[in-house]
Amino acid sequence: MVKKNNSMFKENIITNNPILVQVLGICSTLAVTNSVKNTIVMCIGLIFTVSLSSFSLSIIRKLIPSKVRMIIEVLVISFWVIIVDLALKAYLPEISKQLGPYVGLIITNCIVMGRTEAFGLQNPPIPSFLDGLTSGLGYSIVLIFIAIIRELLGAGSIYGFKLLGSNWVSWNIMIMAPGAFFLLALIIWIVKGYFLPKIEKK
């Protein structure tokens, strides 16, 4: 069991990373990557939702009639997202306002649906929880990386701290939508074209 969980860790973070390899779930989260702080908060919310949704659906998986499976899945996921939303409003009201509707959109994030459907509904609770956790982590690493580059080039800072001095001319495009598209494309290109073939050979 321990060994299996270990390989799951490696698979979900490196060789089968949801963003880089499967290109899933970028919808609602790419939008907040113009600031490292918001990205980290959003990623924690996502990891929380995906692992606990997978866990709770796994517990009740034998009770769900197949006809209403989709609706029940969505309801369980929305439940956890509402908890994330309420917690943010209470403890981080500033960030909650900046994230706006994107917190709610975790419900429709393909990773959450994908992992619960593909793993949580077929496996016992604990492995489902770990699968959700590792998928969420693999996903967060990429997004935080994107956020660091976008914030550094677009605003000259990381996590709000000015790093590049006052002479730095900000690249406005990095903060706007096209910047995220180009950066993600570049990362996928590098990983798919150069790193993955090497890992596979090993």
Which one, 22 or 162, has the nearer CB to other proteins?
Answer: 22
Which one, 167 or 198, has the nearer CB to other proteins?
Answer: 198
Rounded CA separation 73/202 (Å): 38
List the one residue from 58, 109, 116, 128 that touches other proteins (CB under 8 A): 109
List the one residue from 1, 2, 3, 65 that touches other proteins (CB under 8 A): 65
* Biggest CA pair distance of the chain: 62
Which one, 23 or 163, has the nearer CB to other proteins?
Answer: 23
Sign of CA dihedral 46, 114, 108, 184: positive
What residues contact residue 197 under an 8 Å CB cut-off, 6+ apart? none
Shortest separation between residue 162's beta carbon and other proteins, angstroms: 27
Candidates 2-10, 133-141, 156-164, 184-192; binding stretch for other proteins (CB under 8 A): 184-192
Site string for other proteins, 30-59 (x = CB under 8 A): xx----------------------------
Which one, 3 or 167, has the nearer CB to other proteins?
Answer: 3
Q: What 3-state class would DSSP assign to 157?
A: strand
The answer to the question of residue 104 lying near other proteins (CB under 8 A) is yes
Candidates 7-15, 134-142, 154-162, 189-197; binding stretch for other proteins (CB under 8 A): 189-197
Question: Is residue 174 within 8 Å of residue 74, measured between CB atoms?
Answer: no
The answer to the question of residue 23 lying near other proteins (CB under 8 A) is yes
DSSP structural state of residue 143:
H
Q: What 3-state class would DSSP assign to 169?
A: coil
**Which residues are registered as beta bridge partners of 16?**
none
Shortest separation between residue 166's beta carbon and other proteins, angstroms: 27
183, 187, 189, 195: CA torsion to nearest 10: 170
What residues contact residue 174 under an 8 Å CB cut-off, 6+ apart? 34, 149, 150, 153, 154, 183
Interface positions with other proteins (CB under 8 A)? 23-28, 30-31, 62-66, 70-71, 74-75, 78-79, 81-82, 85-86, 100-101, 104-105, 107-110, 113, 173, 176-182, 184-186, 188-194
